[in-house]
Amino acid sequence: MPGYSLWLVPPPNSPVSDTLQNLISSTLPAKFPEEAASSPRLPKPQFFFRHVTLTSEIPPSFFKDKTPQDWLNSILWPSADSVSIKFEKVKSQEFFYRRCYISVDYDSVKHLAGLARARGVNDEEDAEGEKTQQWLSWWREAFGPHVSLMYGDVPISDEKLREVTEVVQEAGIQLSQEEKKGGENLSGWTGGVIWLVPSDGPISEWKPLATREL
C-alpha cells in the first residue's frame, strides 16, 4: 500500500477497541498460530492496530506546505454521532492483508471513506465528485470496508473460518443478524479517531503520524 493511508480506529474508551486488539494481538495468534504467524513480514507476536482503512495511496506531496497534523485538521470531518460502524461477518480472502477479517457494513462507512479519498487522493474533489464515487464503487467490490483480524499467507479453510468466528463471538463481538445472547455484545462502534499512517514500510512501522478525533 504505497504512500500514506487514512484509518478509522475505535474510540479509545470503547469496549470494542480493547476486544478487537486482544483478538488481533493475542487470542487469535494463540489459537491459530499457523494462520496468524504465516509470513516473515509479520512482527512476532503478530501485532497491528485494529482499524478500518478509509483510503490509501495518499502522496507525500500533500504535506509539502503543511505538517501532517495541520493537513488532517484542515479536513471538515463529520461529527462522531454521524459515524456508526456495524460489523457483518468473519470472512477470508486469498490476499495477505485480508486473510481473515470482519466485514463492515458499507453504508455505515461510505461517506467517511469518500471524504478521505476526495481529500487525500482526488485533488480536493468534493466527496460526491465523479472520481470519488467511481472509486467508492470499485473499493466496495474489490476490498470492501473491514477490520482485519489476521494477516498471512496460509489459506483458511471453511472449517477453520467457522472456528475463528466462534472465537470472535466468544470475545463478545456481535455480527449482523446474530441473536443477542445477553451480556456485552459489541456490534461495532460510533465515532472514532482518524489516523494518518505511513503504510508503505514494514508493518511494525504502521503508526500514526497524526490523529484527529471525530
Q: Name the catalytic one among 50, 51, 86, 98.
A: 51
C-alpha cell read off for 174: 456481535
Q: How many CB atoms lie within 10 A of CB 167?
A: 17
Q: How many CB atoms lie within 10 A of CB 202?
A: 9
Q: Name the catalytic one among 146, 168, 206, 208.
A: 146
Q: Does 111 qualify as catalytic in the annotation?
A: no
The H or E element that residue 148 is part of is strand 146-150
Distance of alpha carbon 85 from alpha carbon 176, whole angstroms: 11
Q: Which residues contact 60 (CB under 8 A, 6 or more apart)?
A: 3, 4
3-state DSSP assignment of residue 82: helix
Q: Which residues of 100-130 are buried (b: 16+ CB within 10 A; e: fewer)?
A: bbbbbbeebbbebbbbbbbbbbbeebebebe
Q: Does 146 qualify as catalytic in the annotation?
A: yes
Task: Tell me the H-state helices in the chain.
Answer: 15-22, 28-31, 33-36, 68-73, 110-120, 130-142, 158-170
Q: What end-to-end distance do the CA atoms of the chain give, in Å?
A: 25
> Which residues are tagged catalytic?
51, 146
